[in-house]
Every structure is written in C-alpha cells, then in structure tokens.
Structure 1
C-alpha cells in the first residue's frame, strides 16, 4: 500500500488509528499491539501477499536466534543468524547477478531465475541483523515475541525505513502515556506527513518523469538534455526518499512514536563525508556501527582507515542493487569520502561555493551511474555533459525546458536554501496558520493520486 493513495489516507490510516487507541483506552494493551501488528501485515500484504510468509518466517527465525544469543552469547550462533539473513537476501536479490556473471566468466548458458524482489527485504534484513549483533553484545533486553514483531513490522517504517534499533521503538510502545491520543502529536504528525506527501507527489514524481523519459533515450541526449535529466534525477531521488521518511515520521508521531529522522538537508553539504552524514542517516548509521566499526573504524594509520571506508561503501553499493553499476557507484562514493578525509587531515579548506559546486557535481556523476541501465549509457551521459562542441538550446526533444526549469529551480531552492521538514517542525504550533499549511499541502497532493507512483527505493 502506498502512502500516496486514497486507500491509505482515507481508509487504512484512520481505521488503524481509531481501533488502536480505542483498544488502549479500554486498557486492552496487548490486544492493541496485536491489532497494530496485524494491521502492519495487512499494509505489507496489500502490495503482494505472496511474500507475507517470507516476512513472517524471517521474523520468527531472528527472534529465536536473538533469544538464544541473549542467553548464550556464542559467535557460532551469531554467525548462523547473520548467514541466515544474508542467504535469504542473497537468494532473492543477487542470484541472477551471480548467474549472469558466472555465464559471462565461463561462457555458460545457465538460465536466470528472474526472481521478483520481495518488498522491503533489504530493510527488514538489515534491521534484524542489527538486532542480532546487539543481542550478542548484550545490548538487548528480554523482549517477548509481540514486542519484537511490533518493532519489525510497525507499518510507517516497514517498507523503506528508517532502519531502526530495537531500543528506539520497543520502549516507546511500553510507555503508558503513549497509549493515549495526543492531539498535539496528531496535528504535528499530520503537518509533517503533509510535507512529505507534497515532496513526493508535487516535486519528486514530476522530476522523476522528466528524468526517466530522457534516460530511456540516454544515448540520444544532447548536452543540455543530459544536464536537465541528470539534475532532475539528483533532485527527484532526494524528494522521493526524504518525502517517504517525512511521511513515516509523521504517521509515527500520530501514534505517539518518535521515528528517527533520515535526512538532514544533505544537499547543503560541502563534501561527501558530510553528505553521507546527512543522507539516509539510519543506513549510514547501520553501515558505520556494524561494518565500519567492525573493521576497526577510525585508525591512526590513515591507509587502514581509508580501506575501511572503501569496504563499507562497497557493501553500501552492493546493498543498493545487484549490478556492477551499483558496486562502482558505492566505490566512487567511497573515493569521494576518502578525499574529504584526506583534505581534513591535511588541513585544506576550499571556498564554500567551490566546495559545494564540486560536491554537487559529484552527486550528478554518481547519480548518473546509479540510474543508468548500463555502463555505456552512464559513460555517454557523463561525457555528454562536457561536450561543449554540441552545446545547443534548440531541438530539445527529450526534455521540457520550461516546465523542467521551473521544477529544478524550485526543488534546488528548497533543498539548498530552505529549512528542512524537521527544522520547520521544531517551530510547529497547533494553530490556524499551520492547519492552513497542512490542508493546502494535503489537498494539492490528493489531486495527484490518480497518477500515483511507487517510491523509487521500492526496487531496493
């Protein structure tokens, strides 16, 4: 089920909200949790019920492995649990990738399986691996299965994160005052939700449409068209993914649950090290806590630290997608982060505008690699950006320069020059002004639902 759908806004969300708090009002706390888990499973199954047993099996497996680790902290059990999760993710996400490369390397013709990727598998796998590692480290408590199920399936964050720690959500559902309706939280949650919905539907979707149409004909683009398409994709991914994150935070707040923020104005960063502290924050946190630090983290010996960074970004790239372009994308991001650390160690500073321009150019080049169908398309678009000899503003077939310019200028101005949603929410007051803003954003977004699009990160 999409957040940007009539079914969610007018049926699922209000019905789930009313029943959950009605049960809590009647002091049926266990029943309210069971209902919320069931509602979350319905939310997940709405897309494709075929994969519901997979989610349930994964949840049961990790709960019992986590319980075992809580009693006997053995490396063999931790390894077993992590391998179980990686095997599940690898089978659905990477089998065809490995078969294709095997066929290429050994000149074979093994048939591909063409497995459909279960929705949210990349997210709930990482979330549960973190739980197992924390159980091994003795950082978890004795949670019952209901609380664990609620931690994993709570529907606002189930499909695309944020990737949460157990300690961030389970204690909140055990806090008594959070089980009662809080009108301040409802109004704030609706406001944040409306911002995220507007980001997705009013900015992210149109920019994606423009960019995707151009990239479908990547090797026919002129330099101007390549610039428009590439910048549109850079902006559309931000408004699409951060829009989802805002909606998740907003819905969570309606239920009195604080979901961690996932974005902090990443396009205001001056270098890639700062950018990755602001972009998809909970994924960066997971990679930092469970990959980078496990490798040794920051080391006095710079070359070791840089190698740890590169390995971490290799994992990040491979997590994003089963393709060499994603692996190279991850490594290229790692190189840019290493360069930022090298400059910091050398006490070198750039002019603010020069540093931002280089950072944004890096985002354009890495996003081209991320969204291209193959390396050939990525190389063509990247080199075409700098093909001065063919620079023309006439015969632009693959873009709409007027409408696209409007969306790009508006989106870039908001991403770079305005407060982000969490900063705006800090000054929120449940008054007429904010109610007006909420209604305007919601109504404007509702008119787009007839052509609603799924979120870009659903494919990961």
Structure 2
C-alpha cells in the first residue's frame, strides 16, 4: 500500500486513526495498541503476505535476545543476536550477489535463487541491531513486547524509515498523554503530510520519469542528455525520499508520535561531511553510533579516523544494495568526506560557491554510480558529461525539453533557496491559510494517483 494511493489516503489512514482513538477514548489502551500493531502489519503485508512471518519472527527473536542481554550482558549472546540479524538480511539481500561473484571467480555455474527482497528488511534490521547493542550496554529499559512491536511496526516509518531509536519512540507509546486526539497535531500532521506528498508526486515523480528512461538507455545519451538525466536523478532522490520522510513524520504527528527529522536541506551543504549530517540523518546516526564509534571514531590517530570513515561508508554502500556499484558509491562518498575533514584540519577555506559546486558535482558522480545498471553505463554517462563531440540536440528528450527544464529549475529553487518542510512547519498555525495550503497540496497530489509510482528506496 502506497502513501500516494486512494486506498491509503481515503480508507486505511482515516479508518486506522478513527478506530485507534475510539478505543483509547474508551480507555481500552492495550487494545488500541494491539489494533495499531495489527493495522501496521496489514499495511506491511499489503504487497505480499508471505513475508509477514519473517517480520514477526524477527521481532520475537530480537525482543527476547534483548531482554536476555539487559539482564546478562554477555558478548556471546550479543554476537549471536547480531549474526542472526545479519544472516537474515544477508540471505535475502546478498545471496545472489555472492553466487554471481563465486561463479565469476571460479568459472562455475551455480544457479541463482532470485529471492525477492522483503520490504523494509534493511530498516527494521538496523533498528533491532541498535536495540541489541544498547541492551548489552545497559541502555535499555524493561520494555513490554507490545510497545516493542509498535516501535518496529508503526506503519508510517515501517517501509522506508526514518530509522527510529527505541529511546525516542517506545517511551512515547508508554505515556497515556499520547492516547487522545489533539486536533492541533492532526492539523499539523496533515500539513506536513501534504508537503511530503506533493514533493513526491508533483516534483519527484516527473524528475524520476525522465531520469529512469535516460539511464535505461544510457549508452544512447548525448552530453546534454547525460547532464539532464544525472541532475534529474540527484534531485528526484531528494524529493522522493524526503517526501516519504515528511509523510511519515506527518502521520506520526497525527497519532501524537514525534518521528525524528531525516533531512535538513542537504543540498545546501558545502562539502560531503556537512552533506551527510543533513541527508538521511537517522541512517547517518546509526552508522556513526554503531559502526564509526565502535571502531574508535575520531579518538584515534588521524589516519585511523580516516580509515574508520572509509569502513563506515563501505558498510553504508553495502547496506544500500547488493552490487559493486553500491560498494564503490559508498567508498567514493567516504573519500569525499575524508577530503572535507583534511581540508578542515589544514584550515583550507574555499569560496562558498566553488565549494558548493564541487559538492554538487560530487553528488552527480556518486548518484550516477548509484543508479546505473552496471559499471559500463556508469562510465559512459560520466565520460559523456565532458564529451563535447557528443553535443547533439536531435531527439533530445522523449518529453517536452522545456517542461523537463522547468522541473529541474523548480526543484533546484526549492532545494536551495527555500525553507525545508520542517522549517516551514515551525510556523504552522491551524488557521484558514494553512488549511487552504493543505487542501490545495493534497488535491493537486491526488490527481496523480492514477499513475502512482513506488518510492525509489523501496528496493533497499
């Protein structure tokens, strides 16, 4: 079930909201939580119910391992729990990748399994690994299973994050003050949801349409087409993923749950170190807290710190996808972050506009790697960016070039010159002006539902 669909917006969301708060109004707090877990699992299994036992089994396994670790802090049990999570993720996400490389290295012909990747497995695996590590560190409380299940399954964040932390979410489900309708939160939540939905449907999807078509025909692109396609993809990923995060935050607010911010105008950054503090913030937080700092962080020698950064981004690349292009993407991001730290350490300052251009160009190079079908396509598109001999204009676009230019300019303006959705929402008041904005954005977005597209990060 997609956020950008009639069945979600007109049926699932209002029904879930009404029943949940009705049960709470009758002081059936436990029953309301059970209902919300069931509703969230229904939302999850809408695509394929076959993976419902997987998420249930994963929750039960991690809850009881975490309970054990809270009382008996043994490294053996922590290792067992982490291996269990990584094995589950690895089986579905990386088995075919390893078989392909095994076949290539040893000239074998082992048949691929062609396993479908269960939705959200990368996200709920990270959340639960963090829970186990914190249980081992003595940083968790005696959570009951129902609140833990809500922490994992709460439907706004289940499929694509933000990657929530137990400390910031479970206590919210434990307090009775979150159990009653707060109409100001409902109005604010709908407003934030409307912003996110419009970012996805009105800007992100049109940019994605062209970019996907272009990269599916990468070897045919001219220099101008390569630039248009690459910039379109850089922008579409932001509006698509941050749009989802806004919708998740908005829905959470309607249920009186504060979901953490996941984007903070990342394209306003001047370098990659700053960019990764603004982009997919909860993923960066997880990688920093449970990978980078576990390796020693910045408390070691400078070269060790740089190595820790590279290892962390290697993990990030491999988490994003089972392919060498994702690994190289991660390492390239790591190199750019290390370069930013080296410049800061050497007190080297760059002109703001030069620094921004280099950062954005780096994003283009890394995004080409991220979205290309293979290294051959990535190399062709990258070299074509500079191939003046390939500066042809015939058959430039399969859509109106002026329309595509409009979307790119609009997206750049919104990403670089305007406040982001969280900054806009700080000034929200439940008055006619904001209600009008909400209705207009929702109505305009709903006109696109007949051709609704999945979110780009569903594949991760």
TM-score, normalization by structure 2 = 0.99
Residue aligned with 1:393, SS: coil
Structure 2 match to 1:252: 252
Structure 2 match to 1:19: 19
Residue aligned with 1:4, SS: coil
Pairs within 5 Å for 1:298-337:
298-337=298-337
Query: C-alpha separation between the residues in 2 aligned to 1:128 and 1:149?
Result: 11
Structure 2 match to 1:293: 293
CA deviations over 1:391-430 (Å, ceiling 9, x no partner): 2334414564211100000001000110000000000000
Contact residue 85 and residue 125 of structure 1 kept, 8 A? yes
| Aligned-pair CA distance for 1:5 | 0.5
Pairs within 5 Å for 1:199-348:
199-348=199-348
Structure 1 match to 2:418: 418
Query: C-alpha separation between the residues in 2 aligned to 1:127 and 1:246?
Result: 19
CA deviations over 1:51-98 (Å, ceiling 9, x no partner): 000000000000110010011000000000000000000000000000
Query: C-alpha separation between the residues in 2 aligned to 1:395 and 1:427?
Result: 46
Structure 1 match to 2:162: 162
Query: C-alpha separation between the residues in 2 aligned to 1:224 and 1:289?
Result: 41
Query: C-alpha separation between the residues in 1 aligned to 2:71 and 2:300?
Result: 36
Shifted more, 87-96 versus 297-306: the winner is 297-306
RMSD: 0.8
CA deviations over 1:141-178 (Å, ceiling 9, x no partner): 01111111011000000000111111111111112211
Query: C-alpha separation between the residues in 2 aligned to 1:400 and 1:369?
Result: 26
Query: C-alpha separation between the residues in 2 aligned to 1:277 and 1:171?
Result: 26
| Aligned-pair CA distance for 1:19 | 0.6
Query: C-alpha separation between the residues in 1 aligned to 2:175 and 2:61?
Result: 27
Structure 2 match to 1:62: 62
Residue aligned with 2:14, SS: helix
Query: C-alpha separation between the residues in 1 aligned to 2:428 and 2:229?
Result: 36
Pairs within 5 Å for 1:442-453:
442-453=442-453
Residue aligned with 1:192, SS: helix
Structure 1 match to 2:95: 95
Query: C-alpha separation between the residues in 2 aligned to 1:110 and 1:454?
Result: 32
| Aligned-pair CA distance for 1:140 | 0.5
Query: C-alpha separation between the residues in 1 aligned to 2:379 and 2:251?
Result: 41
2:146 is equivalent to residue 146 of structure 1: yes
**Cα distance 1:441–1:254, how it changes in 2: closer, same or farther (>3 A)?**
same
Query: C-alpha separation between the residues in 2 aligned to 1:138 and 1:457?
Result: 33
Structure 1 match to 2:436: 436
Q: Which runs of 5+ in 2 are unaligned?
A: none
2:404 is equivalent to residue 409 of structure 1: no
Residue aligned with 1:259, SS: coil
Contact residue 228 and residue 399 of structure 1 kept, 8 A? no
Residue aligned with 1:47, SS: coil
| Aligned-pair CA distance for 1:300 | 4.7
Query: C-alpha separation between the residues in 1 aligned to 2:174 and 2:322?
Result: 39
CA deviations over 1:105-131 (Å, ceiling 9, x no partner): 000000000000000000000000000
CA deviations over 1:320-374 (Å, ceiling 9, x no partner): 0000000000000000000000000000010000000000000000000000000
CA deviations over 1:224-256 (Å, ceiling 9, x no partner): 000000000000000000000000000000000
Query: C-alpha separation between the residues in 1 aligned to 2:363 and 2:258?
Result: 30
Query: C-alpha separation between the residues in 2 aligned to 1:347 and 1:270?
Result: 15
| Aligned-pair CA distance for 1:389 | 2.4
Contact residue 225 and residue 398 of structure 1 kept, 8 A? no
Moved over 3 A (4+): 392-395, 397-400
| Aligned-pair CA distance for 1:319 | 0.2
Contact residue 229 and residue 399 of structure 1 kept, 8 A? no
Query: C-alpha separation between the residues in 1 aligned to 2:274 and 2:398?
Result: 34
Structure 2 match to 1:80: 80
Query: C-alpha separation between the residues in 1 aligned to 2:116 and 2:300?
Result: 44
Residue aligned with 1:299, SS: coil
Structure 1 match to 2:388: 388
2:138 is equivalent to residue 111 of structure 1: no
Residue aligned with 1:386, SS: coil
Contact residue 194 and residue 442 of structure 1 kept, 8 A? yes
Pairs within 5 Å for 1:112-127:
112-127=112-127
